Chains A and B, each alone.
Chain A
């Protein structure tokens, strides 16, 4: 029988969790419930009053071609960001494993981008790709590419994908490196003795063994691309040109704070909330599936 540990009742535990509770309530629960509530309202054009309209805002969204376009755009954006950043991270982690001298330096350098704030990361890329001053447009000119992401929607999208992926590489790199290092060395050596070269070892041994990490990172990167890329987009393209880089989270901001359609914007953010909840549930359900040695 288990003995129950009895603590004398004291306000201390409550005091200790109070700040965290307060933060959660003020910054998460309350705004979320506000958004939920707001998504059922329609403001009159002069902002003098609002009317309770049930699901009308949501119905309008499904009929709005701009919104559906943004949905598709977000899907493409997040898949490409996840693929690009995870792919690069995997490659870098694979190499980092083989680096013997200066390994610490190499790893530290790779982790740095993660410490850069999204808006600053965006600003860096804006500078590098500035059509008149930037270094990259200068080189791209030599291969016949006329770079101007202020005018060309495809280029603008490529740029935000690049910037967003770059910033996430460090995070993915750390997880991949840790996953690779948890594979016993002797397993890799056994494969080498069995005749597998570095490439085959990677694809038939290492990659399958780190698949739980890949899955975990996939969800994390999707969530990142959906939400945390706001700062980068805001700094680089502000959703433009036109709406070619307006992904869902940017549209929430644009419609709500620029277009002042508070009800519609709230409905959009409720949809986003639902999406992130789904992704988190998926993650929790499957992340338990680990490879055992």
Chain B
């Protein structure tokens, strides 16, 4: 078990810099999720920690060691790959024992660890099968097993669930979380799925275009997104964003309506409000022309535009609604759920 420190980490392929000055301190036993859209550099960052990619500049420390120059095998890590990367010609047992044999553990110890991991993951009956004889979910478990028998300081996961069907994904997600809590091993988990990220992570590192947009707990990200990107990325459906004008006594919407409330900002801003924070209100200041209703059972999504403008808006209302398409609905939003961002820097205002 160990803490991990990323200091001013940069990665370039030739002249192209794909990761820019990444900083992050990961505490011992923490479960960190790196999340961001495809191509933002998540895998690259993870592979740098694993030692599969070189570090262009900056430093990675695992425990009290600088590991930049260390081979993957010397870093005391285990990794679970998206395609599982099991050794196709070895049985499940051999797959799990491979790393232990290389470490020259005694036979009895190897067997004990493999059996123990098989118990934890409930893959006992598959131990003598080849990977090709297993389903995707079972292979996933074997890949996990191969990681835990090694008893490493750090687990690394690169989108380990993205090849599974939706139901299995939810189930495995919970299992991974429980397993990590039980073993208490510092873990870094890469995914592009924000729901997966929110449910798994103690803290989330949101990456966008090689920059760390925000690094915080799921609740911090949800309640106080540091940028327009995080605001749009975390939470589903995505936060509504409107150009607006901030004054000391309130915020003026593009429709000219003022949302009253003292403001420390002034000038043009981007106003963000989450769909679930729009409360139906006969006299509310926010009017939406609804053009589509999605009934999800537990809640309903009203899609439309801000009345009199073409700014798309979504509102999420608990329970069922009987709203017809093409009608106008009015909402209000509490001042504390409004987010303000700078239109220039895209960063959060009011800090």
Give residues in A with beta carbon < 8 Å to B.
184, 186-187, 189-197, 200, 204-205, 208-209, 291-293
Contact = CB atoms under 8 A, between A and B. Distances in A.
Contacts, number: 64
Contacts of A197: 73
A8 B271 CA distance: 71
B52 A191 contact: no
Contacts of B146: 190, 194
A196 B131 CA distance: 20
Nearest to A192: B72
A293 B132 contact: yes
Given A184-B83, A194-B102, A189 B72 contact: yes
Contact of B81 (A190, A196, A291): A190
B89 A184 contact: no
A204 B97 CA distance: 13
Contact of B79 (A190, A292, A293): A190
Contacts of B51: 193
A190 B146 CA distance: 10
A192 B102 contact: no
Contacts of A200: 102
18 contacts: A189-B50, A189-B52, A190-B81, A190-B85, A191-B98, A193-B50, A193-B51, A193-B99, A194-B73, A194-B146, A195-B99, A196-B98, A196-B102, A200-B102, A204-B98, A293-B88, A293-B131, A293-B132
Interface string B124-136: 0000000110000
B314 to A, nearest CB: 39
Nearest to A188: B85
Interface in B49-94: 50-52, 71-73, 77-79, 81-83, 85-89
Contacts of A194: 73, 98-99, 102, 146, 150
A187 B52 CA distance: 12
Contacts of B81: 186, 189-190
Nearest to B77: A193
Q: Which of A186, A195, A292 has the most CB of B within 10 A?
A: A195
Contact of B87 (A187, A193, A195, A292): A187
Contacts of B150: 194
Given A187-B85, A205-B87, 19 more contacts: A186-B83, A186-B85, A187-B86, A187-B87, A187-B88, A189-B52, A190-B146, A192-B52, A192-B71, A193-B51, A193-B77, A193-B99, A194-B150, A195-B73, A196-B98, A209-B88, A209-B89, A291-B89, A293-B131
B103 interface: yes
A287 B83 CA distance: 26
Contact of B89 (A186, A189, A190, A208): A208
Closest 5 CB pairs of A and B: A194-B99, A186-B85, A195-B73, A190-B85, A195-B102
Q: Which of B51, B81, B132 has the most CB of A within 10 A?
A: B81
Contacts of A291: 88-89
A256 to B, nearest CB: 47
B85 A184 contact: yes
A97 to B, nearest CB: 15
A158 B279 CA distance: 90
A283 B77 CA distance: 43
A9 B72 CA distance: 66
B86 to A, nearest CB: 8
A186 B160 CA distance: 13
A202 B89 CA distance: 14
B146 to A, nearest CB: 8
Contacts of B132: 292-293
A138 B339 CA distance: 85
Contacts of B88: 187, 209, 291-293
Contacts of B98: 191, 194, 196, 204
Contacts of A187: 85-88
Interface string B144-167: 001000100000000000000000
A191 B97 CA distance: 12
Contacts of A208: 89
A208 B103 CA distance: 21
Nearest to A208: B89
A212 B86 CA distance: 19
